[in-house]
Amino acid sequence: MLYVGCHLSASGGNLEMVRTAESIGANTFAFFTRNPRGSQARKEDPEDCAKAVEALKAGSFGPLVAHGAYTMNLCTAQPEAREFAASILCDDLRRMAALPGNYYNFHPGSHVGQGTDVGIAQICDALKKALAPGYPVTVLLETMAGKGSEIGGRFEELKAIIDGVGDDSVGVCLDTCHVHDAGYDVVNDLDGVLAEFDRVIGLDKLKALHVNDSKNPFESHKDRHEILGEGSLGVSAFARIVNHPVLGKLPMILETPNELPGYAKEIALLRQLAGE
């Protein structure tokens, strides 16, 4: 059985997200740990977390893939802003401890002209500090489209972060739209891309997928998601992904331009492609 779901609004709490997921045929989901474009976090509710943990178990959910705020840039140039981003990371990981065993995915950051090496060192710094307490959460670096000064458009950059942190609790979330836009041909050469991932990072580090089609052509470095089958990746690419022996076992999160009914259709499509 595939673990497939989508991004859900966290405003009603964790248990409500589990119920919403179930209503659209999902058995995993993603949510923003705080306002995706700001820094405001929800009030903590241990009772809601405990109920959600029970419901996830009862519903045989796969690992959840929480998403850090887009505004959290661990390698921004101003020291105070960087420190603020690092403090948000710490707080997010501490909060994730109330939902043990799940993933926390985030965009590595944009070096804004400081250079890739400086940016990677700053990201490693923040991660080393945040991971020190040993929370029961695996952090996932997202593969990026390589837009502007974004770090994470090349597998080598993610590998440098993983090695720089030197902690087993760092893995990778592969976004199909992003890698395609970055110039990894998951449409015509999925096996070649995965062989490259394995050579550079190691496939054992791949923990989750963002399953998105792309509005833009191959290697466009753009990052605009599209509904499955309506973009430049196409349905057959997703058929190969869900039926792949390694990829098919990972939690798959839709981040397509959709509301719940559209997500329900895409979840059904992926299950159908997998022969469920």
Residues of the shown chain interacting with Zn ion in the complex, contacts defined by CB under 5 A: 223
Of 141, 227, 136, 230, nearest to 179 by C-alpha is: 141
Of 245, 228, 117, 123, nearest to 180 by C-alpha is: 228
Q: Give me the half-sphere count of Cα atoms (radius 13 Å) on the Cβ side of residue 67.
A: 25
What Å distances lie between residue 215 and 45, 118, 200, CA to CA? Answer: 38, 31, 28
Please say if 255 is a catalytic residue: yes
What Å distances lie between residue 169 and 99, 130, 207, CA to CA? Answer: 15, 11, 11
**Nearer CB in complex with Fe ion: 20/105:** 105
Catalytic: which of 103, 210, 213, 266?
210
Instruction: Give the binding range for Fe ion (CB under 5 A) out of 15-23, 137-145, 229-237, 244-252.
Output: 137-145
Q: What, of Fe ion, Zn ion, none, does residue 210 touch, CB below 5 to 8 Å by kind?
A: Fe ion
180 touches Fe ion by CB under 5 A: no
Choose which of 34, 180, 205, 210 interacts with Fe ion (CB under 5 A): 210
Please say if 180 is a catalytic residue: no
**Nearer CB in complex with Fe ion: 124/141:** 141
Please say if 142 is a catalytic residue: yes
Name the β-bridge partners of 263.
none
Catalytic: which of 34, 67, 82, 111?
67
Please say if 175 is a catalytic residue: yes
The distance between the two most distant Cα atoms of the chain, rounded to a whole number of Å, is 51
State in angstroms the smallest separation of the CB of 265 from Fe ion.
Answer: 20
Catalytic: which of 48, 92, 142, 213?
142
- CA–CA dist 240, 248 (Å, integer): 9
Catalytic: which of 44, 70, 191, 199?
70
Q: What, of Fe ion, Zn ion, none, does residue 181 touch, CB below 5 to 8 Å by kind?
A: none
- CA–CA dist 104, 68 (Å, integer): 7
- CA–CA dist 214, 93 (Å, integer): 30
Instruction: Cite the active site residues.
Output: 37, 67, 70, 107, 142, 175, 178, 210, 223, 225, 255
The site for Fe ion (CB under 5 A) is made up of 142, 175, 210
